[in-house]
Structure 1
Amino acid sequence: MRVLAAMSGGVDSAVAAARAVEAGHDVVGVHLALSTAPGTLRTGSRGCCSKEDAGDARRVADILGIPFYVWDFADRFKEDVIDEFVGAYAAGDTPNPCLTCNEKIKFSALSERAQALGFDAVATGHYARLVDGELRRAVDEDKDQSYVLAVLTARQLAHAMFPIGDTPKSEIRAEAARRGLAVADKPDSHDICFIPSGDTRAFLGARIGIRTGKVVDAVTGESLADHDGVHGFTIGQRKGLGIDAPAADGSPRYVTAIDSATATVTVGPRDRLDVWSIDAERAVWTRGTVPDEDIDCVVQVRAHGGLAPARARASADGTAFTVELGEPLTGVARGQAAVLYRPDATRGDEVIGCGRIVRA
């Protein structure tokens, strides 16, 4: 089988490519140049897709004895991922750029080009498993990335490979060292890859600008503070609210609502964060068919955490679904993904589908 190995320059994609070679596939490595500033260097565990990362990926390809190319996707990445990220925050939503990147870059633009060039599959270093076409959680629960892959369609999954999803991260590093790959001890990327400083508020502020508004108490309606833009807030946020004092009873306040139209941020007690139902749109059903009856499931609303037993119902046309929770979740925001898992013990294992949250 002809396999295109997406090589980020990290240890996970390096071992994924090595395993594809070892399995006897005809493998070609490709690094995606996503930065519009290609001279940018990585700083420790911050940032990715840098000049340094491209060099690391090339050295791994040399050791594996496979052809290697760099494909420039910077313009598309800016348009489909960065611009959408900024626009979502300006609208008061909380997007997940990793999910968008998987949807529109790694498993849309990249996979489409790979198939056009005659490749059968794209292999990546994601921590997830494919079992008979079903997307499942990785063996290493702490590293599981099935949440950010749940946006993939059945057709995209049919041309995907996740070679390391059956192995804990510690063993992946040990394997890389045994194979003589210099990236064995390279730090994992953290935070948002295109914000290497880690200062998301400053990044957004430079692109959205100042749009002043009020921070308002949910209980009394009192105006508590001014702010420079709703992009500096997300549902469930407790710190950085610009409020001088806690509530009258001494309890902390949390962001409970964001209205971008009026630039109003509402704060209140923790119990106002409890969510019992979720509406999601832009639904993707992993098996390619819309469920024709209610689904008992586990819903997850954040990449690491935010799980609850639930019952979901798809809309008639399958483009949306509603979730009724068996126990409340907190910190649920518009723009996040609601991913449905077929229940087993507690976390769920098989991905059923996902959608973007529009109401909670």
Structure 2
Amino acid sequence: MLNSLHLEGRPAETRVVVAMSGGVDSSVVAALLKDQGYDVLGITLQLYDHGEAVGRKGTCCAGTDIQDARRVAEALGIPHYVLDYEARFKQAVMGEFADSYLSGETPVPCVACNQKIKFHDLLETAEGLGAAALATGHYVKSLPGPAGWELHRAADKERDQSYFLFATTPAQLSFLRFPLGDLPKDETRALARSFGLTVAEKSDSQDICFVPTGRYTQVIERLRPGAAEPGNIVHVDGRVLGRHTGIINYTIGQRRGIGVAASEPLYVVKLDAGRCEVVVGPRGCLRARTLTLRDVNWLGDEPFETAAALGVEVLARIRSTGPLRPATVSVENGTVVVDLAEGEEGVSPGQACVFYAATGGGERLLGGGWIKSADGAWMARDDFAAPLEPRPAEAFLAGSR
């Protein structure tokens, strides 16, 4: 007989490790599972030096969050451990974040953290502790399906975090549990109050955890001192408009603060790390229709090669809060290609393109990959073309190309 986590055995005989960040969401997960009688063990990861991140010596290493997690565990009467993953996190997440920006990309470190730390290293630790599952406070639903475990968007679409979990493998998904997937955030806080948790009113974190000031350029300069090089700001037609102090100070789609005067609004349309150039142009140059991806992860029922052989229709999301766009995913000469029906503005290499099922309102997550290139955002002065006009989604889904 299966318990509430779809695992064999009574809750008291089922050990579950909860990734406790010190926030209200993971704290409620621990409280819910403890209340249901599971053998709960809490683990908090020390990932970075908070004092160094904010530039203030003597600040505890993410001290407030660790202490909050410890207090919650004590109140619930569950074992709690703090694991030092700082070196691993600095190399696998922070270092790659800096290198990605220096190469002209726009990285998504939260995906990398889930992929390489939480759902890899921490998952292995949980298995080593004899746990039957690793539970987190992510707002996403995992459901057993006919071909294995599936990921679905959370009931609370404003809180849905499925975008950040696209790289979760089927093997990881079978071990992970997300107890908050069916709850709205206000109900989670109400549960925290009912359990008497001290973090019930704690505010949610808004920034990248290792960039608490919101100034990511400072982090990059500290991790890779001297790596940012000055260069030219170039119009898509070839004119040199000015100079910049490093491409890390710019993002695709940026309009304000470019540092050049022009008679028309200009946007950053390309960051060319090889030439140390910031390429700018009119807004129409931002629209991309065809993307190429790398490191694609697929969670569909049939093999990706089979699904993509003739082109699989999906709903694609480029940004975590962006709209779902009708698209077709296919493989051309060994390269994964995404054709966006209506195009998308401001697409940058390094971002994630995440796939959702075209049927059922896009509730099920089918996977995704990292963007290598985008035909609109990748224009250079020698291949400038007229701006792309969006095509109606209805014509695209009807088979028009």
Q: TM-score by structure 2 length?
A: 0.83
1:172–1:102: structure 2 CA closer, same or farther, 3 Å change rule? same
Q: Does 2:318 correspond to 1:298?
A: no
Cα distance, 1:116 vs structure 2: 2.0
1:36–1:276: structure 2 CA closer, same or farther, 3 Å change rule? same
CA contact (8 A) 2:54 2:212 kept: no
The CA distance in 2 between the partners of 1:10 and 1:315, in whole Å, is 44
Amino acid at match of 2:205: S
CA contact (8 A) 2:105 2:350 kept: yes
SS of corresponding position for 1:194: coil
1:39–1:324: structure 2 CA closer, same or farther, 3 Å change rule? closer
CA contact (8 A) 2:95 2:223 kept: no
Match of 1:213 in 2: 231
Amino acid at match of 1:103: Q
CA contact (8 A) 2:314 2:356 kept: yes
The CA distance in 2 between the partners of 1:38 and 1:100, in whole Å, is 23
The CA distance in 2 between the partners of 1:105 and 1:29, in whole Å, is 16
Amino acid at match of 2:187: E
Match of 1:262 in 2: 275
Matched ranges for 1:122-201 at <5 A: 122-132=134-144, 133-201=149-217
The CA distance in 2 between the partners of 1:306 and 1:153, in whole Å, is 24
Match of 1:63 in 2: 75
Cα distance, 1:203 vs structure 2: 2.4
1:40–1:97: structure 2 CA closer, same or farther, 3 Å change rule? closer
Cα distance, 1:160 vs structure 2: 0.3
The CA distance in 1 between the partners of 2:341 and 2:139, in whole Å, is 28
Match of 1:85 in 2: 97
Amino acid at match of 1:28: L
Partner residue of 1:329 out of 344, 353, 365:
344
Cα distance, 1:307 vs structure 2: 2.9
The CA distance in 2 between the partners of 1:280 and 1:53, in whole Å, is 36
CA contact (8 A) 1:312 1:323 kept: yes
Cα distance, 1:48 vs structure 2: 11
CA contact (8 A) 1:42 1:52 kept: no
Cα distance, 1:228 vs structure 2: 1.1
Partner residue of 2:249 out of 217, 222, 232:
232
Match of 2:369 in 1: 355
The CA distance in 1 between the partners of 2:138 and 2:274, in whole Å, is 38
CA contact (8 A) 1:39 1:51 kept: no
The answer to which structure, 1 or 2, has the higher relative contact order (CA under 8 A, 6+ apart) is: 1
Cα distance, 1:291 vs structure 2: 4.5
1:42–1:66: structure 2 CA closer, same or farther, 3 Å change rule? farther
1:18–1:280: structure 2 CA closer, same or farther, 3 Å change rule? same
SS of corresponding position for 2:200: helix
Q: Does 2:289 correspond to 1:276?
A: yes
1:164–1:28: structure 2 CA closer, same or farther, 3 Å change rule? same
Count of aligned pairs between the two proteins: 349
CA contact (8 A) 1:42 1:48 kept: no
The CA distance in 2 between the partners of 1:266 and 1:307, in whole Å, is 28
SS of corresponding position for 1:188: coil
Cα distance, 1:42 vs structure 2: 12
Q: Does 2:65 correspond to 1:53?
A: yes
The CA distance in 2 between the partners of 1:260 and 1:306, in whole Å, is 29
Cα distance, 1:97 vs structure 2: 0.4
Cα distance, 1:230 vs structure 2: 1.1
CA contact (8 A) 2:232 2:243 kept: yes
SS of corresponding position for 1:182: coil
The CA distance in 1 between the partners of 2:252 and 2:109, in whole Å, is 17
The CA distance in 2 between the partners of 1:214 and 1:129, in whole Å, is 47
SS of corresponding position for 2:131: coil
Moved more, 126-135 or 47-56: 47-56
CA contact (8 A) 1:215 1:223 kept: yes
The CA distance in 1 between the partners of 2:332 and 2:187, in whole Å, is 43
Amino acid at match of 1:76: R
The CA distance in 1 between the partners of 2:231 and 2:251, in whole Å, is 15
Match of 1:72 in 2: 84
CA contact (8 A) 2:53 2:211 kept: no
SS of corresponding position for 1:292: helix
The CA distance in 2 between the partners of 1:193 and 1:228, in whole Å, is 26
Amino acid at match of 1:328: G
1:145–1:315: structure 2 CA closer, same or farther, 3 Å change rule? farther
The CA distance in 2 between the partners of 1:37 and 1:274, in whole Å, is 38
The CA distance in 2 between the partners of 1:48 and 1:104, in whole Å, is 25
Q: Deviations over 1:50-82 (max 9, x none)?
A: 111011001111121111110111010000000
- Structure index of larger Rg: 2
Match of 2:5 in 1: none
The CA distance in 1 between the partners of 2:233 and 2:52, in whole Å, is 40
